[in-house]
Amino acid sequence: MGVTILVVDDSKADMIMIKNILDDYQLLFANDGVEAMEVIAREPEIDLMILDLKMPRMNGFEVLEAIQAEPAYQKIITLILTNYDEAENEIRGLSLGAVDYIRKPLNLESLRKRIEIHVKLKNATKALEQNNAMLEQTVAQRTQELVLTRNITIHALVGLLEIRDIESSNHTRRTQWMVKALCEQLRTQEAYHKLLSESYIKELFETAPLHDIGKVGIPDNILLKPGKLTIEEYEIMKKHAIYGVDALRYEVAEGQIPSFIKTAIECIAGHHEKYDGTGYPYGLKGEAIPLPGRVMAIVDVYDALISKRVYKPAFTHETALLMIKEERGKHFDPAIVDAFLAIADRIKEIATEYSHQEQ
């Protein structure tokens, strides 16, 4: 790797000496601090600077301060030139960002060795930065591939479920976008602003399609029954929440569950819980129900209400809203009901947009 060295000194004799010692490096020269800053601004690839402290117009300390004030210049390795009796100047120079000092009168062998050491360090740093950049690029690419694989897997599983359960066609797509819209509305409230970060809303959006995944464990004669379920059949149907949770927790220790999976589990386990504690599978009450479950619950019910089933007609948007209002504080979290009603028009738009589209 080529190394560029800037020599800043008002002594012509020292300049000539340094040039002869370092003639196999690419050298730039400045007679004082003002010229030095001009050269640095013009030559962004300077690796190392040999800087005299005592100079006219702008001394070495002022140059160090100017470099420290400009992040783009801080990568320059600086060695200061001092006299043997200037210990205080050495300390001050080092405190301002210099990494080493060279004493005058110049010891040719010492100067050469010090430059070689710092050049090796600089080259090693460059190589490490390049390796890190390549590693970051590789990690970013692998992460993108993992996310894509995860999303394809989710949509494949959900797609297969919806093919099996024809009544749920596009249910996951509609509820997914409704969850996003509802979370964005909740985020405008102080109580939810910090919790519902953009990344968390994205996570809720991506995990929402999994809320009914446990239905793959429900027998066809119950899942596809062309009529209302008996009490016994309904008890079996209720198990789909636990089936979904168990599927995601497979061979994962409690403390090692990734955030994405944890959010998905909370969505699956909580979307049939009720705010008053009468829901299933755990009978949780109030805010003991994780937020993903409380959000998913109202969206899931609304979509079921406006959708036609073999045992009921599709209710209108307005009727569904009235039924949800009646369950405020009973089935649903009051704050989430209020947020849902505040964006009722947007919810209707989503329901209409995805009512007939194929997956």
Quick: pLDDT tens for 275-322. 999 999 999 999 999 999 999 999 999 999 998 877 778 899 999 999
Q: Which residues contact 292 (CB under 8 A, 6 or more apart)?
A: 204, 207, 263, 266, 267, 270
* pLDDT at residue 213, rounded to an integer: 87
Number of residues that make up the chain:
359
* pLDDT at residue 140, rounded to an integer: 80
Report the C-alpha gap between 359 and 353 in whole angstroms.
13
Q: Does 161 score more than 90 pLDDT?
A: no
Amino acid at 85: D
* pLDDT at residue 259, rounded to an integer: 86
Amino acid at 297: A
* Nearest CA among 5, 6, 3, 9 for reference residue 105: 9
- Residue 83: beta bridge partners? 104
Quick: pLDDT tens for 106-160. 777 778 888 888 888 878 877 888 888 888 888 888 877 777 776 767 766 776 6
* Helix, strand or coil, per DSSP, at residue 77: strand
Stated pTM of the model: 0.62
Report the C-alpha gap between 95 and 118 in whole angstroms.
18
Structure tokens at 24: 């196999």
Residue pair 131/139 in contact (Cβ under 8 Å)? The answer is no
Q: Does 79 score more than 80 pLDDT?
A: yes
Residue pair 49/78 in contact (Cβ under 8 Å)? The answer is yes
Q: Name all domains of the chain by residue range, CATH numbers in brackets.
A: 4-134 (3.40.50.2300), 165-353 (1.10.3210.10)
Quick: pLDDT tens for 12-66. 888 888 888 888 888 999 999 999 999 999 987 898 999 998 888 899 899 999 9
Strands 48-52 and 26-30: unpaired
